[in-house]
Structure 1
Amino acid sequence: MYDRLRAASEAFDRKIGWHRVGFLVSLAVIAAAAVVLWKMLHGIDVHEVIAAVKAIPRFDIVVAGAFVAAGYFTLTFYDYFALHTIGRGDVPYRIAALAGFTSYSVGHNVGASAFTGGAVRYRIYSRHGLSAIDVAKVCFVAGFTFWLGNATVLGLGIAIAPEAASAINQVPAWVNRGLAVVTLIALATYVGWVWKTRRVIGRSNWEVTLPGGPLTFLQIMIGIVDLGCCAAAMYMLVPHEPYIGFITLAVIFVAATLLGFASHSPGGLGVFDAAMLVALWQFDKEQLLAGLLLFRLLYYLVPFALALLILGLREVWLAIERSRGRAAGTTVADAAPARARPAPAGDARAAG
């Protein structure tokens, strides 16, 4: 069965190409979001949005910022976990934290995070002996952790509050709850599959040993904590009235984030916002838009600026190191011939 599916997938890729399908899906998502935003934002008073931003309590903004910081701290463990999974536990946490924070900060804002984040990771990890294949494995395991966390949060959240998903996909609540149960069953099946024996995926020189049962639970928990912190940050910035439960908000937030991710637009710009505006229809549009703008500032722009600063300073430091290395190499090279230079044949000092 597996061989047939793989053969069908390869045949489809040759004749049509999965990348074309992905491009068309992204284009459709962005186009739909643009239409929704045009309708939702038509008639918005900019002055009211600015006033709504100023009206958000400073305490809520500070707490939201703390949740964002906690979320990015959790993101560093995506890479640290991935390094241990591929057998590179010798790479210290500080390097994993640097690569994790900067790659996600850049990937979130530039878009096409699989490529942009991978490039940042390779720039950092290559100095510690990781090859391009090793970095690809790190990206795979980190991405798998992200998807396991998303599947768990959405599965549990939609099973509890299916109407939250219905606000986005307009599907009856009972259908969404059924899909959530299927997702949870699939997750349980996967955990049981990796628990039984050592599982290796890939072929030739690209093979990854999947984490076993206990480590998979740890992997899922990392994803849950990351998404929980992000959702909590958003929860602090949406209007307090009318009341909405955290689980409902978390489901809407994660679903909107995944739609933005599927669009490949930088930071899910437009797509994430359109989904949030549609799903959270009960809030005042100006107040909700104010919360979304602040969230973008805290979760996207500030970490992006910080990551660029860190990467820039790192490049300057590496350039200085290289310059010192070349200078030291030149000095040694100049000194070595002088010590080894033989004296002329008729030199009295050489004869004596």
Structure 2
Amino acid sequence: MSPADSDAHKGRRHLFRWIVPCLFGAGGVLAAWFLWHIDWPHTIAAWHRLDTGTIALALALTGVSYCGLAAYDVIAVSTLRPLQIARAAAAVTGATAFGISNFLGFPLVTGTAVRVRMYGVARNDLGPLLSVVGSGWVAFWLVSIALCGAILAVRPDALLWADAATAVRLGGIILVLAVAAFLAWLGDGRSATVWQTRLDFISRRLTALQMLAAVVDIVASGLVLYLFLPPDLAGDLAGFMAIYVLAVGLGVLSHSPGGLGSFEATIMVGLGGLGRADLATGLLLYRLFRTVLPFGLAVVVLAVAGRSGGRLSAVQP
């Protein structure tokens, strides 16, 4: 490594050393603010008022969402033939990894750790496994950008900038075209160097399949929250989904557990319900179905994997 490369590497380390704690700290402050606004008696009463149909629908949508998350691994491991990972094992591992990382935060670290354990990959041979994790996040961000772009292009009044509809619509079209251009560039798979770090991308076809899985996840999980919104704040589904995608993205970037704080603050501000106890209650119920219950199931699966030697029949017969 040349002196210039070494200096650049040190610069990146110093940058991330400051950025991650700052984002985590900001998320912690927002989380404390959110928890302060929860009216616990109101929340308990709201839970008792939930009917069986709403609970069943929330559970079904959460299941659909995690099917989308599981599909990330199923699609990506098809490129890792030397590891001979069965599809069923990939699905269970993917869902478990997201169940853990969605609760604990730091998804790249926690998700990779779960996959290392359940796939039985040696720690000195993480390259192919990291491509599985990375390809899923590429698909997630591509879909997030494309969904926001499509909503803004079709419904520029969905957010708060109705007086700048033309500019908003143009911005939405540019976002969609940028995603399309990236997919065209991918072809049969590409490599790129970012900050002197080599990134390997899977093919356009597999990325498109992962994007479809991401759409399933984002739409289904968004509908879980939509179920619990106060009627006067729910508004139209297109506007809500634009705010939801932005909130999820900011939650991921915050690296706080489950994006707690950043996600809730974005939803409250975006829906115009800042400080409202009924909206805080809806967000808490969403967390219960979308974050806490999957985490509990994921812990059980990890315990089973531990008893079976850390691997759930991952090898193809």
Fold match (TM-score > 0.5)? yes
Describe the shift of the 1:164–1:143 C-alpha distance in structure 2 as closer, same or farther (beyond 3 A).
same
Q: TM-score, normalised by structure 2?
A: 0.82
By relative contact order (CA 8 Å, sep 6+), the higher-ranking structure is 2
AA paired with 2:58?
A: A
SS class of match (1:318): coil
Match of 1:180 among 147, 172, 186: 172
SS class of match (2:181): helix
Aligned residues: 306
Describe the shift of the 1:318–1:218 C-alpha distance in structure 2 as closer, same or farther (beyond 3 A).
closer
RMSD, matched Cα:
3.5
Aligned to 2:17: 20
SS class of match (1:224): helix
SS class of match (2:272): coil
- Correspondence 1:114-133 to 2 at 5 A: 114-126=108-120, 131-133=125-127
Aligned to 2:299: 308
Match of 2:268 among 277, 281, 285: 277
Q: TM-score, normalised by structure 1?
A: 0.75
- Contact (CA 8 Å) 1:152, 1:220: kept in 2 or not? no
Structure 1 unaligned segments of length 5 or more: list them: 1-6, 320-352
Aligned to 1:59: 53
- Correspondence 1:313-332 to 2 at 5 A: 313-318=304-309
CA distance in 1, matches of 2:263, 2:163: 19
| Greater Rg over alpha carbons, structure | 1
Structure 2 unaligned segments of length 5 or more: list them: 311-317
- Contact (CA 8 Å) 2:23, 2:255: kept in 1 or not? yes
CA distance in 2, matches of 1:100, 1:238: 29
CA distance in 1, matches of 2:28, 2:105: 17
- Contact (CA 8 Å) 1:53, 1:291: kept in 2 or not? no
Match of 2:200 among 208, 219, 228: 208
SS class of match (1:200): strand
Q: How far did residue 164 of structure 1 move?
A: 4.5
Percent identity, aligned pairs only, is 26
Describe the shift of the 1:88–1:164 C-alpha distance in structure 2 as closer, same or farther (beyond 3 A).
farther
Describe the shift of the 1:93–1:244 C-alpha distance in structure 2 as closer, same or farther (beyond 3 A).
same
Q: Deviations over 1:180-236 (max 9, x none)?
A: 2221121111122224x6533469x97735313x43332321211111111111112
CA distance in 1, matches of 2:95, 2:123: 20
Aligned to 1:134: 128
Aligned to 1:151: 145
Q: How far did residue 9 of structure 1 move?
A: 9.7
SS class of match (2:308): helix
AA paired with 1:14?
A: K
Describe the shift of the 1:160–1:31 C-alpha distance in structure 2 as closer, same or farther (beyond 3 A).
farther
Q: How far did residue 10 of structure 1 move?
A: 7.9
CA distance in 2, matches of 1:163, 1:89: 49
Aligned to 1:292: 283
Q: How far did residue 76 of structure 1 move?
A: 0.9
Describe the shift of the 1:208–1:55 C-alpha distance in structure 2 as closer, same or farther (beyond 3 A).
same
- Correspondence 1:60-139 to 2 at 5 A: 60-87=54-81, 90-126=84-120, 131-139=125-133
SS class of match (1:238): coil
Aligned to 1:223: 214
CA distance in 1, matches of 2:6, 2:82: 32
Q: How far did residue 299 of structure 1 move?
A: 0.9
Describe the shift of the 1:130–1:137 C-alpha distance in structure 2 as closer, same or farther (beyond 3 A).
farther
- Contact (CA 8 Å) 1:79, 1:97: kept in 2 or not? yes
SS class of match (2:200): strand
CA distance in 1, matches of 2:21, 2:174: 27
